[in-house]
Amino acid sequence: MPERSVRFERGLPSPNEVFDPAGEPYAHYRPVLEEMERMGPEEWRRRINKAHRRRLEQQRELGMVPDDEVHPTDYVPRILPAADWAVLERGLAQRMLAINEWLRRLEAGRDEVVPGEVIESSTLFDASIPTRFGDVPNRQMGFDIVAVERSGRTGEWEYLVIEDNAKMPVGIEPMNILRARTPDVLPESYTALRVRPLDGLMERLGEVVRAASSKPDPVLAILSTGPQDQYYLDHKVFASELGAILAERHEVELDRDGRLVHKESDRRIDIIYERIEDGRIYDDIKGLIESQARGLIDAVFAPNLGVADDKGVYPFIPEMIRTYLGEEPVLNNVETYSLAVEEDRRYVIDHFDELVIKSRSGWGGKGVLIAPEESREDIEEFREQVEENPVEYVAQETIDFSTHVLCETDEANDGFVLRDAHADYRIHALAPDAQTIEVIPGAMTRVAAPGSKLVNISSGGKMKDTWVQRRE
């Protein structure tokens, strides 16, 4: 039998997490690459196709239409050594505790960290409506993380938080779906690498979400945009796993007592888990904000919680950690400039084509310009938008964050070609109570299209399973 090969083709100058500068694989990736070599491209395709079919079967069982599409996926996993995970786990727990304390103080009118003008100019905070975050403002958060190579230390990584996602963070359901399939594709390396399992993940998420209500068995409803939502499968999976109602905005209403009711089943809803991308459920149902503020209904993502997503708030999170926890941040931010600040605004306008510019309220890759990757025409068009309303934008220095690999079969040589592409992590944390943070030992890795740094699935990226290794 001819020797099968796994060939790495480097197309980017950024450091790669799988292969060192000489093209040799790092030790913790050898079991994966060796298993791929043993199986060859024909068996790889068979396993990938089987995984794909099983994902489609799950969608059909849930009544998904169309039922022939799944989230774009690359099955070569990303691997996080136990020591690296320990840093991420500690840093994200610290960060979420501080953000929740800040939100409690913001609700009480005692915020002393974020300047008033940042809150007042936020499109994600409406001071005219009542705010009730409760003891645990954020029960679920997603954190977007990138790895940068430590200076002079090849293969050693520093992890930076690039965004915080408090309102409707996507990722737990795809993590769960992927983990159900990847051990079947690479069973030997999954065992050899001592990967931490995600068993019971959806059940635990359900327990944390239901803890938002004081009732012993609250009725939970996932409120969705509907089948046109790119993550509608996630909504379906979540509702199915948790025994929750899945409803669109026109399928619920307030009764005469101010309680939310599912029209079809006539059941009163105790907790809403909002997954509506365009607009807000509170805009559609008059009186719902007041009902939530009075405690007639609990919301996992309460009105005004989105202010924690505001990229204008992001630069102040390290100071929240110092002020409220009395600690230094374990994980650093990327250097960020606020265009609400005159000095920062001048710098950004003068260096516009060197920076990453983001709308403070943007999400899913929307309202983002990675200027070094764009044409002069696109840069100038975006500059005009920024100059019309500069307070709505922040800017960040471009960073040389790590790449992972995208896999293709090499039929001619009975092997594989791995090409480098930029990747980030979406890591989730849960807060069952005000003092406890549980960081889920895994991530939805998002890999950008070749040559791009924009990793969002909606921007042409793919997702991967992330394997966190157990401690020895």
Q: What is the pLDDT of residue 234?
A: 84
Q: What is the pLDDT of residue 278?
A: 65
What is the residue type of 283? D
Rounded CA-CA distance 329/325 in Å is 10
Q: Which residues pair with 405 in a beta bridge?
A: 420
Q: What is the pLDDT of residue 454?
A: 83
Question: In the block, which residue shows the tokens 């025409």?
Answer: 377
Question: In the block, which residue shows the tokens 């409220």?
Answer: 324
| Residue ranges of the chain whose pLDDT lies below 50 | 1-2
Going by C-alpha positions, the residue among 385, 369, 375, 331 that lies closest to residue 453 is 369
Which helix (H) or strand (E) element contains residue 141?
strand 140-149
Q: Is 131 exposed, middle or buried (0-12, 13-18, 19+ CB in 10 A)?
A: buried
Q: What is the pLDDT of residue 174?
A: 86
Cα–Cα distance list, 225 to 71, 138, 163, 221, 229 (Å): 18, 22, 24, 13, 6
Q: What is the pLDDT of residue 1?
A: 37
Going by C-alpha positions, the residue among 339, 316, 464, 352 that lies closest to residue 391 is 339
Q: What is the pLDDT of residue 438?
A: 98
Count of beta carbons in the 10 Å neighbourhood of residue 100: 25
> In degrees rounded to 5, what are phi and psi of residue 373?
-95, -5
One DSSP character per residue, 203-263 reads HHHHHHHHTTSSSSS--EEEEE--TTSTTHHHHHHHHHHHT-EEEEGGGEEE-TTS-EEET
pLDDT tens profile 365-408? 678 898 998 999 999 999 999 999 998 999 999 899 999 999 99
Count of beta carbons in the 10 Å neighbourhood of residue 23: 11
Rounded CA-CA distance 196/204 in Å is 16
Average pLDDT, the chain: 92
Q: Which segments of 121-181 does DSSP mark as H helices, in order?
A: 172-179
| SS3 label, residue 19 | strand
pLDDT tens profile 398-436? 899 999 999 999 988 889 999 999 999 999 999 999 999
Rounded CA-CA distance 26/28 in Å is 6
Spatial contact of 276 and 224, defined as CB atoms under 8 Å apart: yes
Which helix (H) or strand (E) element contains residue 108?
helix 82-108
